[in-house]
Amino acid sequence: MPEDAGKSARPIRVLIVDDHPMVRDGIRSLLTSDPRFEVVGEASDGREAIERTEVAHPDVVLMDLRMPVLDGVSATREIVDRGLGTHVLILTTYDTESDVLPAIKAGATGYLLKDATRDELVRAVQAAASGESVLSPPVARRLLGQVRQPSNDTLSDREFEVLVLVARGNSNKDVAADLFISEATVKTHLLHLYAKLEVNDRAAAVAEAYERGLLTPGSEG
Amino acid sequence: MRPSPLDDSRLPEALSDVTEQWSEIAGVDAVVVTVGDRQPLRPEVEVTLLRVAQEALANVEKHAQASRVGVTLSFMDDSVTLDVRDNGVGFDRSAQTRSESYGLSAMGQRIEHLQGELHIESAPGDGTAISASVPADLIGVPHA
């Protein structure tokens, strides 16, 4: 078939990144048995993944998230930022919001869970190679859940300003001085943002804001 | 002329006008900021918050020796709040005579009438901030 002929002309070049050798071996044997793919290397942490990507220029990096030295999200961000045309497909066991959102924000093209079938993995790598997003159903649900949050849960610009100042460690008095308003009004903004984030205090508000991806490392600085 | 009830609040413009005029006469820098999504306000709410702002600005001119004033109108989901903050000499909140001379009780009565709250924050050398807040069920235009 012409389609297959086109694909076999140039296999999709894949870099496998995972700190567990058994996992890398499994993925490698799965992909090398298929002529549509070529495994161009392996890496066992995020730092190695960046180095191998620069050398091998894979079409797709299969990226684990939790790894020593440098985690998958940071490695994804660096790889995407370098603009080498490499697409990152996250392949992990974790599907919590705090895993999914940072990875997507870092520029991952897709997010697949390790319980994916062989066919799902094959399709996901093919899609990622052409820059199409692929999300495992539980991951898609998480993302949709984020988007579908009722609008009254969205922080106002002023509430966000207050949150950022609080995340920097400012007291209510400091925040009031910075925004040149009363402490009473700062407290009112805080109560509103606590309600929207479903928390009871400032520490939990900051933690929840990171969890939801409203704040990212650096945004509070 | 009163704004028609279904219009967005014109309080921000009124506050800007009042504050700008005051700033020229008092010779104190003043900035008006509006945050949040504007909602239509009842005429009595607009008038009350404008009077509170005027009263607060008059106090700043009389007592504060400030070089800077911030007037902030915050539209929130369940309330509208006016803040007037200065960087002046402030006063000791426990010294009742002084705080009464600020005309604070009159402001408080106006806000209480609307089931709102008035907060006054000050300390010697630390400027003064007043906050007048009116709850949402009284700020909006009742549906006919």
Residue of A nearest to B84 (CA): A181
Chain A closest-CA separation from residue B43 CA (Å): 23
Inform me whether the C-beta atom of residue B35 falls under 8 Å from chain A C-beta atoms: yes
The owner of tokens 């709850």 is B135
Report whether pLDDT(A131) > 60.
yes
Computed over every residue of chain A, the mean pLDDT equals 88
Residues of B in contact with A185 (CB under 8 A): 72, 74, 81, 83, 131, 133
Inform me whether the C-beta atom of residue B39 falls under 8 Å from chain A C-beta atoms: no
Residue A134 to residue A115: CA distance in whole angstroms: 15
**Cα dihedral value B96, B83, A157, A189, nearest 10:** 30
pLDDT value of residue A7 = 46
Contact criterion met (CB < 8 Å) for A192 and B76: yes
Count of Cβ atoms closer than 10 Å to residue B38 Cβ: 15
Confidence grade of residue A57 (pLDDT, cut at 50, 70, 90): very high
Nearest to A182 among B31, B77, B131 (CB): B131
What radius of gyration, in Å, describes the C-alpha atoms of chain A?
Answer: 21
Contact criterion met (CB < 8 Å) for B83 and A185: yes
**Cα dihedral value B35, B37, B40, B46, nearest 10:** -10
Residues of chain A with CATH 1.10.10.10: 150-212
Tell me the H-state helices in A33-154: 46-56, 72-81, 97-105, 118-129, 137-148
Which ipTM was obtained for this model? 0.87
Question: Mutation test of the interface with chain A: which of B73, B81, B128, choosing the one with the most A Cβ atoms within 10 A?
Answer: B81
Residue A125 to residue A87: CA distance in whole angstroms: 9
Mean pLDDT over residues A114-140, rounded?
Answer: 89
Count of Cβ atoms closer than 10 Å to residue A117 Cβ: 8
Residue B119 to residue A198: CA distance in whole angstroms: 26
The owner of tokens 């009830």 is B5
Residues of chain A with CATH 3.40.50.2300: 9-138
Q: Which option is the CATH number for A150-212: 1.20.120.1200, 1.10.3720.10, 1.10.10.10, 3.30.750.24?
A: 1.10.10.10
pLDDT value of residue B138 = 57
CA distances from A212 to A109, A146, A153 (A): 19, 8, 12
CA distances from A42 to A47, A139, B43 (A): 12, 25, 70
Pairing of strands B79-86, B128-135: antiparallel
**Which sign, positive or negative, has the C-alpha torsion A73, A75, A77, A79?**
negative
pLDDT value of residue B6 = 38
Element (DSSP H or E) covering residue A161: helix A157-167
Inform me whether the C-beta atom of residue B83 falls under 8 Å from chain A C-beta atoms: yes
Confidence grade of residue B63 (pLDDT, cut at 50, 70, 90): confident
pLDDT value of residue B139 = 56
Of A3-17, A44-58, A163-177, B22-36, give the lowest mean pLDDT range: A3-17
**Cα dihedral value B33, B35, B38, B42, nearest 10:** -70
Report whether pLDDT(A85) > 80.
yes
For residue A39, the one-letter residue type is: V
Contact criterion met (CB < 8 Å) for A188 and B76: yes
Contact between A180 and A221 (Cβ < 8 Å) = no
Contact criterion met (CB < 8 Å) for A182 and B121: yes
pLDDT value of residue A22 = 93
pTM, full prediction: 0.58
List B134's β-bridge partners, or say none: B80
CATH class of A9-138: alpha beta
Computed over every residue of chain B, the mean pLDDT equals 83
CA B131 remoteness from chain centre = 7
List B128's β-bridge partners, or say none: B86, B122
Contact criterion met (CB < 8 Å) for B121 and A152: no
Residues of A in contact with B136 (CB under 8 A): none
Q: How many residues does chain B have?
A: 144
